[in-house]
Structure 1
Amino acid sequence: MTIVWESSLIAIVSFAILYFLLHKYAFGPLFSIMEKRREHVLGEMQEAEKNRAESAKLMEEQKAAIQEARKEAYGIIEQSRATSTKQADEIIRTAKEEAAKLKDDAVKDIDSEKNKAIAALRGEVGGLSVKIASKILEKQVDEKAQEQLVDQYLNKVGGNV
């Protein structure tokens, strides 16, 4: 086997020219596209990481907001309980005051009616005393008859009261 130097030289020169042309026109744009793709992928990964971090932050904010809303709801419930208890106590106090007032008014009415009845009874007793005295003077009765008249008078007074 003999080596043909001219063919080898032509092949080496052709290869060098082909490599130069490929490097200038094919590898450059190809490497440029690959570099752009690599940068794009890195940018997307950074964006995804940023979005994940932002999502985690928003999730924490939402958890905090939910916790705050629960606290507010609990506060509102406790305030409602306190208000309802206060209102119930106020209603009970007012009812007790009304009952005491009604009782006092009833006692006053009873006393007033009692005084009226006593006054009416005194007037009636006075009238009956006069009648008895007039009957006694008319009859000039003895002691037994006088006792009978007093008993009749007392029975009359006892029946009217």
Structure 2
Amino acid sequence: MKVLWENIVLTMVAFSILYWLLNKYAFGKLFAVMEKRRELVQGQLEEARQTREQATAYVEEQKEALKQARQEAFEIIEQSKQSSSKQARDLLEQAKTDAIRLKDEAVRDIESERNKAMEALRGEIGSYSVNIASKLIEREVESNPEDQEKLVNQYLQEVGRKS
């Protein structure tokens, strides 16, 4: 096989012209498109990374918000329990106070009625005593000790019937 140097030189000149033409008209635009594409892909990757970070941060925020909501709900439940216990104690104390007050009023009313009855009884006993004394004096003048005892017994029977 014989190597033809003219063909090699001619091929190299043609390749050099083709390379120069491609470099002047096509490679610049092709590299620019490829660079834009690389930047676009790089931007999309960066945007995806940021979106992933935002999603992770959002999930963490939601977890924290849920944890805080649970804590607040627990605190509200505890406050409700304490409030209801306090209200029950207050109601119980109020009921005890009312019962003591009603009992004291009833005791005072009973004591008052008792005193009134005693006063009425004293009044009646006083009038009966005066009545007995006047009858005794009448009889004493007229009768003997046996009659006086009979008179007292009779008077006591009258008092027993009236009361």
TM-score category of the 2 structures, normalised to the smaller one: 0.7 to 0.9
Tell me the equivalent position of 2:19: 19
Tell me the equivalent position of 2:44: 44
Using the TM superposition, give the Cα deviation of residue 127 of structure 1 relative to its aligned residue in structure 2, in angstroms. 0.9
Q: Is 2:136–2:151's contact at 8 Å kept on the other side of the alignment?
A: yes
Instruction: Work out the CA distance in 1 between the residues paired with 2:75 and 2:7.
Output: 96
Using the TM superposition, give the Cα deviation of residue 150 of structure 1 relative to its aligned residue in structure 2, in angstroms. 3.8
Tell me the equivalent position of 1:95: 95
Q: Is 1:136–1:146's contact at 8 Å kept on the other side of the alignment?
A: yes
Q: 2:158 aligns with which of 141, 153, 157?
A: 153
Give the TM-score, by structure 2 length.
Answer: 0.81
Instruction: Work out the CA distance in 1 between the residues paired with 2:83 and 2:48.
Output: 51
Deviations 1:46-101 (A, max 9, x none): 22112101210121122112111211121122112112211221121122112101
**Counterpart amino acid of residue 149 in structure 1:** Q
Matched positions, count: 158
Using the TM superposition, give the Cα deviation of residue 116 of structure 1 relative to its aligned residue in structure 2, in angstroms. 0.9
CA RMSD of aligned residues (A): 2.5
Give unpaired runs (5+ residues) of structure 2.
Answer: none
Q: Which has the higher contact order (CA 8 A, sep 6+)?
A: 1
Is 1:142 equivalent to 2:147 in the alignment?
yes
Give the TM-score, by structure 1 length.
Answer: 0.82
**Counterpart amino acid of residue 91 in structure 1:** L
Tell me the equivalent position of 1:56: 56
- The percentage of aligned residue pairs carrying the same residue is 48
